[in-house]
Amino acid sequence: MKQYPKYIDSGVDWIGEIPEHWTIGRLKYYNDIIMGQSPNSEDYSVDPVSLPFLQGNAEFGELYPLPSIYCDSANKTSDENDILISVRAPVGAVNISDQVYGIGRGLAAVRKPENFKFNFFYLQMAKSYLYSLSTGSTFTAISVDDLKNLPYPKISSKEQTAIANFLDHKTRQINDLIAKKERLIELLKEEHTAVINQAVTKGLDTNVPMKDSGIEWLGEIPEHWEVKRLKFLATTVQTGSTPPTGNSEYYDESDYDWYTPVDFTNGIYLTESNRKLNYFAIESGIAKEFNPFTVLIVGIGATLGKVGIIRKPSSSNQQINAIVFKENQNPIYHAYYLQCIESIIKRMSNAATLAILNQNNTKNLLMVCSPKEAQDIIAQKIDKLFQEFEYRIERIIRQIELLNEYKSSLINEAVTGKIDVRDYHINHVTN
């Protein structure tokens, strides 16, 4: 895109050169800055009739806030079309105030009715600079003076509007493209899940004779396959354990994977765990060691039913059920099957107060059991498909990353005058 005819030094390192008719002032000279203040604890409410309250950026949505708490009164508020900016970790996150909100000490409202969109784009660009100013040991934060003294370009309202309209149009285009790619990822995941489900419950041969499995949610299976409870296919089903957290000798110099529910993702093979034990915890019997190709399944919490396979000796906490399958069974095949019936597992778990998949429930899970040779072929086929699937997903994710980088670069260049968009024409209306 074209540049301005002539540039001068802005005097601000992170802004660099600016068009010669621009000057750099401070945010406080062109905007009102309202620093948040939390109300008294007795003023909080769960009643949505009260004033929606934002403590910090945890309530930020993609563009507008998503309030989860309310208050009967607020010491500080934001107005519609204020720019909300986080002044506590992570410093610099922005959102648009689409109504009146009470705001807590983790937020500030930047108010300039003349052109809030330009402010929104400019403050997005300034995030890295504001973050560099943050200090603190418990949590990082910036002061009101840091925000008020943010370098800010002094340009005409007409030029601000031109820049804001250009960026609004271009970022909409980019965001639409990103949304399409994110939808493609969802479709690929659905396709991948359907292929795995077909393979582990129906086999790879679509011409094989079928029979009724006797299970409503399973339907037909190949006539030479069986349905058995997991306990007849496994040698052991047990849970892990947690060494006393106050005893550092179990955790010092640790490099032994110790899995908890947070380590389970969508992949079937578990990678490095977030927390570690040392081998003394195993030797002393305070933690349990599981051999490679033990199948782990989460038995409690939000990730109940998540499945993973370990590929080296590892351990887990008591929230995990560890399944060792017999030698005439393929653990990878069964892990993929368990992954497919995650929703069934959640439904059949004890759910009086908190859903729990205990050892007895795990042992009584209904499993589709094909001959070992078929299990091996199916497991190999799915592993190969998963590698191809991961490659395709990674390519799309990288494309999304590049689009976001391009969007950030475009915002940076426009609001600091590196490109001249005053004559940019929008040829169609963007809905």
Rounded to whole angstroms, the Cα distance separating 272 from 323 reads 19
Element (H, E) at 20: none
Residue 279 phi, psi dihedral angles, 5° rounding: -70, -20
Interval 360-382: pLDDT, tens: 999 999 999 999 999 999 999 99
DSSP E strand boundaries for 10-123: 17-19, 23-26, 32-35, 44-45, 51-54, 69-71, 77-78, 83-86, 94-96, 101-103, 107-111
Does the CA dihedral 326-329-332-335 come out positive or negative? negative
Q: How confident is the model at residue 130 (pLDDT cuts 50, 70, 90)?
A: very high
Distance CA 335, CA 297 (A): 9
Query: Does pLDDT of 115 surpass 70?
Result: yes
Residue 216 scores a pLDDT above 70: yes
- For residue 41, what pLDDT band results from cuts at 50, 70 and 90? confident
Angle at the Cα of 171 from the Cα atoms of 99 and 114, rounded to 5 degrees:
45
Average pLDDT over residues 247-271: 89
pLDDT greater than 50 at residue 431: no
Residue 322 pLDDT greater than 90, yes or no: yes
The mean pLDDT value of the chain amounts to 92
Asked whether residue 82 carries a pLDDT value surpassing 50, the answer given is: yes
Stretch 400-410: mean pLDDT:
97
Q: Is the pLDDT of residue 49 over 90?
A: no
Q: Which residue has the higher pLDDT, 296 or 266?
A: 296
Which segment of 22-31, 68-77, 94-103 scores lowest on mean pLDDT? 68-77
pLDDT tens profile 297-308 = 999 888 899 999
Percent of the chain with pLDDT over 70: 97
User: What per-residue confidence (pLDDT) applies to 430?
Assistant: 47
- Asked if the model's pLDDT at residue 429 lies above 60, the reply is no
Question: Residue 46 pLDDT > 90, yes or no?
Answer: no
Please determine, for residue 292, whether its predicted confidence score (pLDDT) is greater than 70.
yes
Residue 428: pLDDT above 60?
no
Higher per-residue confidence, 348 vs 94? 94
pLDDT of residue 350: 61
**What average pLDDT score do residues 251-262 get?**
89
Q: Counting beta carbons within 10 angstroms of the beta carbon of residue 388, is it exposed (0 to 12), middle (13 to 18) or buried (19 or more)?
A: exposed
Give me the pLDDT at residue 116, please. 86
Q: What is the DSSP string of 247-295?
A: -GGGTTT--EEEE-GGG--SSSB----SEEE-HHHHHTTSS--B-TT-E
The pLDDT > 90 percentage for the chain reads 78
Q: Which residues contact 77 (CB under 8 A, 6 or more apart)?
A: 34, 51, 100, 101, 102, 103, 109
Phi, psi of 262 (to 5 degrees): -65, -15
**135-154: pLDDT as tens digits:** 987 889 999 999 999 999 99
One-character DSSP codes across 130-150: HHHH-B-SSS-B--HHHHHT-
pLDDT of residue 354: 62
